[in-house]
Amino acid sequence: MRKKIVAGNWKMNKTFSEAEGLLFDIADLLSESRPKDVEVVVCPPAIYLELASDIAQQNDFSCGAQNLSQYDPGAYTGELSAEMVKSAGVKYVILGHSERRTYFGENDEIIAAKISQALKHDIIPIYCCGEVLQEREENRHFDVVAEQVNKALCHFANHEIRQVVIAYEPVWAIGTGKTATPAQAQEMHAYIRSLISRHYGQETAEEMSILYGGSCNPGNAAEIFEQPDVDGGLIGGASLKADDFVKIINSFKK
């Protein structure tokens, strides 16, 4: 059985006291109601990882980072190694996010090196892929996602790929309020699963969790999560409000 996951990506938001408040609010709301079979992950900015992983541990959710270095520890000013991130109690890391690709020049080679670091230190990578609007309009979205998946993932061994979570995030849907339709999400998720199946066999493909991300909110999450190949969500804006985030988690019905 593949795992159902809802992860909140806070991006570069919240002061220390706001972050603490949001973590406790999420914990409180989760204690009132939550589906037992959904893993909840909160990915705050790196400076709050230790705080978040402490609160997460006490409240039955998990903590994820938004980035880590592709290098082993050493003279890399400003960077965080996978080892350091792991030692803060982190279980997941978001890698390959379109904002990192666009604003920080991360390409699939760099992302692949980061995934290697995560795997080496027993951190579960949430690998993000997805096309921009023009690529979809030109009907190239399947090719673009296939290239991203092939380049960043498909050189890993079967036992390694089984540790990875994939997030399909059409770039035109991120932070725009424009969500993929449930049918568009299902179509791409099934395609990604077929790519994994081609490289690693059907059993591995069936075990992989593939999350949808891009303007998910309490009003549209249920319909998207209902799709057979959608195993949860990567939530940006709506994860900054405890109420909305927990409503999204609770919209998991299958």
- Residue from 118, 171, 237, 252 that binds ligand PGA (CB under 6 A)? 237
Is residue 56 near ligand PGA by the rule CB under 6 A? no
* Residues 209/3, Cβ–Cβ less than 8 Å: yes
Residue 130 in the binding site for ligand PGA (CB under 6 A): no
CB 170 within 8 A of CB 131: yes
235 sits near ligand PGA (criterion: CB under 6 A): yes
CB 49 within 8 A of CB 66: no
What spatial distance separates the first Cα and last Cα of the chain, rounded to whole Å?
13
Q: Which of 39, 97, 106, 141 is catalytic?
A: 97
Give me the 174-213 binding string for ligand PGA, x by CB under 6 A, dash otherwise.
Answer: xx-------------------------------------x
Its sign, for the CA torsion 179, 180, 183, 186, is negative
Kindly state whether residue 234 participates in binding ligand PGA, applying the rule CB under 6 A: yes
3-state secondary structure of 159: helix
97 catalytic per annotation: yes
Alpha-carbon span 110 to 212, nearest angstrom: 23
Nearer residue to ligand PGA within complex by CB, 125 or 237: 237
Positions in the binding site for ligand PGA (CB under 6 A): 9, 169, 174-175, 213-216, 234-238
Instruction: Cite the active site residues.
Output: 97, 169
